[in-house]
Amino acid sequence: MPNVLILGGRAPVALELARRFARRNWSVIVGDSMSCRLSSWSTSVTAAVRLPSPRFSPRAFVEALCRIIDVHGIELIVPTCEEVFYLSRYRHLLPDAARVAVADFETLDRLHSKWTFLELARECGADIPASERVGSLEDARAWARDQPVVIKPEYSRFGTHVRLYPQGIPVDAEPFELSAPWVVQRFCRGRELCSYSVVDRGKVLAHVAYRPAYRLAGSASFWFEACDVPAIRQFVDKLAARLDYTGQIAFDWIQSENGGVTVLECNPRAVSGVHLFGDDDDLPAALAGSATTCMSAGATAASMLGSVMLWAGGLQAFKAGQVASWWHDYRRARDVIAHPGDVAPWFGGLIDMGAFARVALRERCSLRQASTRDIEWDGQPMVVP
């Protein structure tokens, strides 16, 4: 029985992958530097390991990974969250016996930057919004000239610090709270879409485009539905081949009324699209690089974070007067957390949320920021331990 180490066990996508690997007769070990009972309490998981923070303790992180690879006979390492950047940077320090499903660090940096990615996307033929890299709100205002814009840090995640100004930057807008570079873009109106793909040596082995229909405060989605957008797949094929990419990769898009798509940014890691593949789709083979054809999620497949859809989605629907459509969506989507015969992850997720809340209180940050604080990478120099 082959052994896989899935990192970022705090994330629902890690739970999804753990179940899929277990169904394919892999022995699943999950690892994280924070509480990850969401996945570790699953019946699909053989063992869970606590890791040092790759951001704050990189040497200890690498040493722990080496021990785990040796003790558990790990043959494949699959990151799901932003530990992917540290895993890529320190890949050469890990035993060669374990396949690490990540691209090289320089490529990940180019994709993670919301500025350098746009140039790469343009070179691959994608439509991109007019953009500029700025250092202050005054610079952004001078470039925008009262036009609708979006402003975001060059390196960020889950909509953190993103500013939407569909009527232009107001005169009383607050100065930037971060001293790092920011990117200002023309505001694109249309339908929000996302995509997720698994790639091995430039070849796309799994792909889905999907609609994030329900969101928390305009950021992370908790209900998603697959859709067929050929232009997105064509772009992913072209970019993957150009970079000779290996690993998971995701993109955010806007689809205009005429059907055209504009790519906004890239997330070179797992995202919610993982949940939309069918039970027979062999995602483990794609991540192991052994799949021979590309698998695609069926259009209209829908999944959700059930408890979040119930309370947050229900509240949104009540305020918007759309309870009937919300209830229809709730009933037709698959809950990705609580499965028949495997409900403990739902309770584990509550404990994880408590752990994130304690970090948020201690560090005086938001719950969302607390959930990624120990694994974030925002473009700063990364010293090899």
**Domain spans of the chain, in order of start:** 1-102+343-385, 130-186, 191-335
Architecture of the domain whose range is 1-102+343-385: 3-Layer(aba) Sandwich (3.40)
Query: What is the pLDDT confidence band of residue 373, given thresholds at 50, 70 and 90?
Result: confident
Q: Which option is the CATH number for 191-335: 3.30.470.20, 3.50.50.60, 3.50.50.100, 3.40.50.620?
A: 3.30.470.20
Q: Is the per-residue pLDDT at 125 higher than 80?
A: yes
With CA atoms as reference, report the closest residue to 43 among 342, 304, 380, 330.
342
Query: What is the pLDDT confidence band of residue 218, given thresholds at 50, 70 and 90?
Result: low
Q: Kindly report which listed range (77-81, 85-89, 93-97, 175-179) carries the lowest average pLDDT score.
A: 175-179
Q: What letter represents residue 327's amino acid?
A: W
- Asked if 80 and 6 count as a contact pair (C-beta separation under 8 A), the reply is yes
Query: What is the pLDDT confidence band of residue 180, given thresholds at 50, 70 and 90?
Result: confident
Q: For position 385, what pLDDT does the model report?
A: 66
- Asked if 368 and 219 count as a contact pair (C-beta separation under 8 A), the reply is yes
230/241 Cα distance (integer angstroms): 17
Q: Is the per-residue pLDDT at 118 higher than 90?
A: yes
Residues in the chain: 385
Strand pairing report for 221-227 and 163-165: unpaired
Q: Is the per-residue pLDDT at 230 higher than 70?
A: yes
With CA atoms as reference, report the closest residue to 32 among 7, 1, 2.
7
Mean pLDDT of the chain: 93
Q: For position 77, what pLDDT does the model report?
A: 98
Q: Which residue is listed with tokens 């990364």?
A: 382
* pTM summary value: 0.95
- Asked if 61 and 51 count as a contact pair (C-beta separation under 8 A), the reply is yes
